Amino acid sequence: MVHPARFELATPGSEDQCSNPLSYGCVWLQPFYHSINFSAILSAMDIHTNIPLKNYLTMKLGGTTRFMTEVFSVDNVKQIVANARTQNLPIFVIGGGSNVIARDETYPGIVIRNRIKGFEIVADDAMTTTIKVGAGEIWDEIVKKTVDMNLSGIEAMSAIPGTCGAAPVQNVGAYGQDVSETFVSLEAYDTQNDQVVTLTNDDCHFGYRSSIFREDQFNRYIILSVTLQLYKASPKPPFYKAIQDYFDTHNITIYTPQTIRDTVTTIRSEKLPDPKVKPNSGSFFKNAIIEGWLLKELLETYPEMPHYDMGDKRYKVPTGWLIEQCGFKGQLLHGMRVNPANALVLINESAGGYSDLAAAREEISNQVRDTFRISIEQEPLELK
Ligand code: NAP
């Protein structure tokens, strides 16, 4: 049964920091920028100037952006892109700010906060339900909604911060599920051709924590909505060890999207610092993917090295383990704390800015490379 369209766009409103230009230091265009002509869009949208990015990024560091605005509709997106092009200003879209790092210098363009809402069931059959969600919806709220509907497919990705539009960018994943497995398509505004396009799963070239949106088509598309096909069947083992261990300890033998969600939420709250309390961007490094020959050589020296077959003669080696072996777990480096519970996460305890974070990143990645001959890669995108 196909449900009637319920895909509504939110009206600009009250929910958070920058929607009121009087709050949080948001101001209308200031005299210095009067040469920039946003008059065509000022009537419809709030454009704010000189906004400290740390207020919008969970790592809580970095400089300011010259302009910031929120988009609530495709029309908002079109207006902003057209005006930014006229003024020759770069644009950068953020969602929840949980996977983006800002540098210390002022960003010279417009940061767009994606607030496009919507939740619609677009297809429903005996086995599956397909949903279309606005890119500005909060990811975990949508996971909760689908779990409440007893649908399976994204429940292991519970409690990941950020928005739905950000999920395909890095092909978000956790505990054995990743977005590409349920992803059908997305709608995006193509800033190169000025049109709304639909991109299929194949078009997105999903890989391990990667897609075209963070690789060769970086900053080309503004994601408007995401369509996912979820399953009515219950989740089945084998589960990741951490989940199975929790089930065993708590005598859980009936596996539902809800039991997986509850388990993952509990495990994550124990292992991962809450960004509202301890500023961080989740996993700061991607897990390493290495060739079989290198793994073989390394296992001779480090027989206990954990590794997972990627099915293409390459192996995933947990970067948290590599960092821990180098002695960094729990250490404070340039104001960044290597999380004592999970060395993949860096916590901004007292960093003076991006330069401190970069120094910590270099120290860790150089040591990992010198010890294991493995280059590790930063997971969060950089605003540039
Ligand atoms: P862990 O259990 O200590 O394991 C370390 C790494 O080994 C994980 O990152 C995971 O890779 C991989 N791994 C473990 N069991 C595996 C299996 N059966 N098959 C394939 N790979 C396996 O991991 P953790 O650091 O506590 O993280 C647990 C889960 O939460 C992971 O899936 C991780 O991705 C996710 N997580 C996500 C974020 C985020 O910011 N999005 C942050 C922290 C953790 P994968 O990462 O590929 O699953």
Q: Give the pLDDT confidence of 264-289 residue by residue, as tens digits.
A: 999 999 989 999 999 999 999 999 99
CB count within 10 Å of CB 211 equals: 22
Closest residue (by CA) to atom 18 of ligand 1? 240
Question: What rounded mean pLDDT belongs to the chain?
Answer: 90
- Those residues with Cβ within 8 angstroms of residue 340's Cβ, 6 or more apart along the chain or in another chain: 329, 330
Is residue 108 within 8 Å of 89, Cβ to Cβ? Answer: yes
User: Which atom of ligand 1 is closest in space to residue 208's alpha carbon?
Assistant: 47
Whether residue 318 is predicted with pLDDT greater than 70 in this model: the reply is yes
Whole-angstrom distance, CA of residue 153 vs CA of residue 346: 29
Tell me, in angstroms, the distance from the centre of ligand 1 to residue 267's CA. Answer: 12
pLDDT per residue as tens digits for the range 221-255? 999 999 999 999 999 999 999 999 999 999 999 99
Tell me, in angstroms, the distance from the centre of ligand 1 to residue 286's CA. Answer: 10
Q: Which of 107, 100, 96 is nearest to 68 (CA)?
A: 107
User: Which atom of ligand 1 is closest in space to residue 174's alpha carbon?
Assistant: 32
Closest residue (by CA) to atom 20 of ligand 1? 308
Cα 179 vs. chain centroid, distance in angstroms? 11
Q: Which residues are catalytic?
A: 209, 283, 379
Long-range contacts of the stretch 259-264 (C-beta < 8 A, 24+): 260/152, 260/155, 260/156, 260/158, 260/175, 260/235, 261/143, 261/144, 261/147, 261/155, 261/158, 264/155, 264/156, 264/157, 264/158, 264/159, 264/174, 264/175
pLDDT per residue as tens digits for the range 88-142? 999 999 999 999 999 999 999 999 999 999 999 999 999 999 999 999 999 999 9
Tell me, in angstroms, the distance from the centre of ligand 1 to residue 211's CA. Answer: 19
User: Which atom of ligand 1 is closest in space to residue 271's alpha carbon?
Assistant: 26
- Which mutation among 99, 158, 287 tests ligand 1's pocket best, with the greatest number of atoms within 8 A of CB? 287
Amino acid at 271: K
Q: Which residues of 232-244 are buried (b: 16+ CB within 10 A; e: fewer)?
A: eeebeeebbeebe
pLDDT for 156 equals 98
Closest residue (by CA) to atom 35 of ligand 1? 174
* Mean pLDDT, residues 143-163: 97
Closest residue (by CA) to atom 10 of ligand 1? 318
pLDDT for 21 equals 27
User: Which atom of ligand 1 is closest in space to residue 272's alpha carbon?
Assistant: 43
pLDDT per residue as tens digits for the range 188-216? 999 999 999 999 999 999 999 999 999 99
Q: Which of 341, 322, 149 is nearest to 231 (CA)?
A: 149
Instruction: Tell me which residues have their CB closer than 6 angstroms to ligand 1.
Output: 160, 172-175, 240-242, 271-272, 282-283, 287, 308, 316, 318, 320, 342, 344
